[in-house]
Amino acid sequence: KKKKKAIAKAGADELLGYCHPMAKEAGIECVFFLGKNGFSKFGKTIKFIKEGKHQEASEEIKDSKWNRQVPNKVEEISRKLREI
């Protein structure tokens, strides 16, 4: 679990670069569940996070097949972004 978290953090760092710590936390969770490759397909969400547009990112992440599969997890991540 520790190793997977470290891998997720490295993946989020690579995809998001420097961003708000709460946004990075949300990114780490995304990479943890989807893998770096999986989360990398969330281009608009990543772009919004990098631009500091957290409201937009929180909406964008919900517009996904992932959200239809695990709505509670995605809503939790979306809320983290919304509250920044």
Q: At 82, list the tokens.
A: 């919304």
Other C-beta atoms within 10 Å of 81: how many?
25
Query: What is the rounded CA–CA span in Å between residue 5 and residue 24?
Result: 13
Please say whether the beta carbons of 50 and 16 come within 8 A: yes
For the stretch 26-43, pLDDT in tens is 999 999 999 999 999 999
Please report which residue ranges of the chain form alpha helices under DSSP H.
2-16, 21-40, 43-50, 54-60, 65-69, 71-82
Would you call 41 helix, strand, or coil by DSSP?
A: coil
pLDDT at 2 over 90: no
For the stretch 17-29, pLDDT in tens is 999 999 999 999 9
